[in-house]
Amino acid sequence: MHNKTLREISNDLASGLYSSEEITGELLARCERLNGALNAFISITPELALAQARQADARRAKGDAAALTGVPMAHKDIFCTQGIRTSAGSHMLDNFISPYDATVVERLKADGMVCLGKTNMDEFAMGSSNETSWYGPVHNPWKKGAVPGGSSGGSAAAVAARMVPATTGTDTGGSIRQPASLCGITGLKPTYGRVSRWGMVAFASSLDQAGPMARTAEDCALLLQSMAGFDERDSTCMDYSVEDYLAALEQPLAGLRIGLPREYFNHGLDPAMGALLQAAADLLQAQGATLHEVSLPHADLAISTYYIIAPAECSTNLSRYDGVRYGYRCKDPANLMDLYCRSRSEAFGDEVKRRILVGTYVLSAGFYDAYYRQAQKARRLINNDFASAFEAVDLILCPSALGAAFDMGSKTANPVDMYKEDLYTIPVNLAGLPALTAPCGFINGMPAGLQLVAPHFAEARLLQVAHQYQQLTDWHLARPDMRIWGESS
């Protein structure tokens, strides 16, 4: 049962092959068995999950079930879940039991999805390997000692290990797409403002966006259909009609213009990754799509721009953690300043502190124009590059990550080595565009994903192309050998 996709489970529940309570019980047992080794979950919530499953079965008995009703899933531990710890992977929020549900949680719950728990992540979503989590690193199900990517590493690993068919993730600089690539699953970062950020622990507010992670584009379409839409509680959420994503999946690819950015397919690209992307491009071309070279001339500025804007917004957002109203408080503070400084220093990890310090630097008096304002201008140049490219093409095809999953500890000596991991994903966040990662092959036995980027609000096109690609290929069906983790399959 655990190998089934969200769509297959949905169909099985509809035909009465098994109940939500049955599949929830089976997947809960699998999560409990595997989590000691993989550490993909921070919290597993069996009682709540089984109660939700029984509710879903009752709802189905009344003839009131939706496509997602009774299907098990898990939320990244960055989404507030009422009555359940919401830690954001940090010691700071280890004791934080959210008093309310995030909009994303509320919407999926309203459709009857069953939440099995909260997935592990880099602390406050700051990292690309899941090694900054206060709850310890997550293992890539494909190989012991390899990272799953980050920051939504637990969400990606849980889907790849068939613990759950679907998870939510968030993506500020690649945190859905890079782990999806490294774990061999499908993940979508929607347009900035497409999905409500309300109740999502904030990292960098002009970049953060929630999205679905699953095994197929079709499953992502089902999830996004529920997650997307206007929410007045998020002042940056866009009031823009939501397309019928499922209906779009079956559209043929004939006439689709696909752009390949010159700056990404240069000598810096891993040749193995280049070969996989070329094979994918050729396949799409054989289906009637046309390939075009496009240019993103300011691509090389993206990492520098991001590492000014993201830390600046991080230092502002994380100033709320003061040890007074919620979260961690140090023992026996001598005075108010000691309370602030020690609570924050004891409860934030090194990477979070580093970004707070960098953010404080670039926003400080005298440096604001030279750094933050300059980065906002560079951001416009990067945005304009994409706008020009999309005058000539409907979609861009490029890598999601530098290569396949790397070993734990191999990029932690210098923070900049880890930052460069997001070379191909960061520009998309700066421009607020939607992008999807889907498996496209293997490099030395480890999965790798292609990235499709579309104009604002063209999520349906991304899902359509990925779905059509997945009808012609079986990379998304490949699964890790779980015998290395003591499972029979």
Partner 1 sequence: MSIDAKGVEKLAQLARLDISEKDIAATTRSIGEVLKLVDQLQQLDTRQIEPLSHPLDAKQRLRADRVTETNQRDAFEALAPLCEDGLYLVPRVIE
The catalytic residues are 76, 151, 175
Q: Is residue 320 close enough to count as binding partner 1 by CB under 8 A?
A: no
DSSP-derived pairing of the beta strands 395-399 and 290-294: unpaired
End-to-end CA distance of the chain: 11
- Cβ atoms 28, 50 nearer than 8 A: yes
Q: How far apart are CA 398 and CA 18, in angstroms?
A: 41
In the complex, the smallest distance separating the C-beta of residue 291 from partner 1, rounded to whole angstroms, is: 27
Q: Tell me: cis bond preceding 43? Omega within 30 of 0 counts.
A: no
Q: How far apart are CA 237 and CA 33, in angstroms?
A: 39
In the complex, the smallest distance separating the C-beta of residue 411 from partner 1, rounded to whole angstroms, is: 13
With left for phi above 0 and alpha for psi between -120 and 50, is residue 390 left, alpha or beta?
alpha
What would the two tokens of residue 33 be?
């068995």
Among the residue ranges 17-25, 157-165, 296-304, 389-397, the one whose residues contact partner 1 (CB under 8 A): 296-304
In the complex, the smallest distance separating the C-beta of residue 321 from partner 1, rounded to whole angstroms, is: 9
- At how many degrees (to 10) do helices 46-61 and 20-38 cross? 160
Complex with partner 1: residue 251 or 383, whichever CB lies closer: 383
Q: Is residue 380 close enough to count as binding partner 1 by CB under 8 A?
A: yes
**Beta-strand (E) ranges in 372-484?**
395-399, 435-443, 446-453
In the complex, the smallest distance separating the C-beta of residue 354 from partner 1, rounded to whole angstroms, is: 6
Q: Is residue 127 close enough to count as binding partner 1 by CB under 8 A?
A: no
Among the residue ranges 176-184, 284-292, 370-378, 400-408, the one whose residues contact partner 1 (CB under 8 A): 370-378
In the complex, the smallest distance separating the C-beta of residue 332 from partner 1, rounded to whole angstroms, is: 9
Q: Which of 17, 110, 275, 416 binds partner 1 (CB under 8 A)?
A: 416
Complex with partner 1: residue 110 or 336, whichever CB lies closer: 336
Among the residue ranges 65-73, 283-291, 363-371, 395-403, the one whose residues contact partner 1 (CB under 8 A): 363-371
Q: Is residue 301 close enough to count as binding partner 1 by CB under 8 A?
A: yes
Sign of the four-CA dihedral 137, 174, 315, 231: negative
Complex with partner 1: residue 17 or 324, whichever CB lies closer: 324
Complex with partner 1: residue 86 or 120, whichever CB lies closer: 86
- Cβ atoms 440, 279 nearer than 8 A: yes
Q: Which of 2, 456, 461, 467 binds partner 1 (CB under 8 A)?
A: 456
Q: Is residue 192 close enough to count as binding partner 1 by CB under 8 A?
A: yes
Complex with partner 1: residue 80 or 438, whichever CB lies closer: 80
Q: Is residue 358 close enough to count as binding partner 1 by CB under 8 A?
A: yes
CA dihedral 425, 429, 434, 438 (to 10 degrees): 20
Q: How far apart are CA 479 and CA 162, in angstroms?
A: 9
Q: Is residue 247 close enough to count as binding partner 1 by CB under 8 A?
A: no
- Cβ atoms 40, 158 nearer than 8 A: yes
Q: Is residue 191 close enough to count as binding partner 1 by CB under 8 A?
A: yes
In the complex, the smallest distance separating the C-beta of residue 467 from partner 1, rounded to whole angstroms, is: 26
Q: Which residues inside 253-292 make contact with partner 1, applying CB under 8 A?
A: none
In the complex, the smallest distance separating the C-beta of residue 230 from partner 1, rounded to whole angstroms, is: 10
Complex with partner 1: residue 14 or 97, whichever CB lies closer: 97
Q: Which residues inside 216-245 make contact with partner 1, applying CB under 8 A?
A: 232, 235-236, 238
Q: Which of 244, 262, 373, 410 binds partner 1 (CB under 8 A)?
A: 373
- The CA-based angle 38-44-48, given to 5 degrees, is 160
Q: Which residues inside 80-109 make contact with partner 1, applying CB under 8 A?
A: 96-97, 99
Complex with partner 1: residue 54 or 420, whichever CB lies closer: 420
Q: Is residue 468 close enough to count as binding partner 1 by CB under 8 A?
A: no
Q: Is residue 1 close enough to count as binding partner 1 by CB under 8 A?
A: no
Q: Which of 251, 285, 287, 304 binds partner 1 (CB under 8 A)?
A: 304
SS3 175: coil
Q: Is residue 326 close enough to count as binding partner 1 by CB under 8 A?
A: yes
Which whole-number Å values give the CA distances from 415 to 129, 132, 354, in the listed order? Answer: 12, 12, 9
Q: Which residues inside 334-353 make contact with partner 1, applying CB under 8 A?
A: 334-342, 344-345, 348, 353
- Cβ atoms 467, 284 nearer than 8 A: no
With left for phi above 0 and alpha for psi between -120 and 50, is residue 398 left, alpha or beta?
beta
HSE-CB for 362 with a 13 A CA cutoff: 24
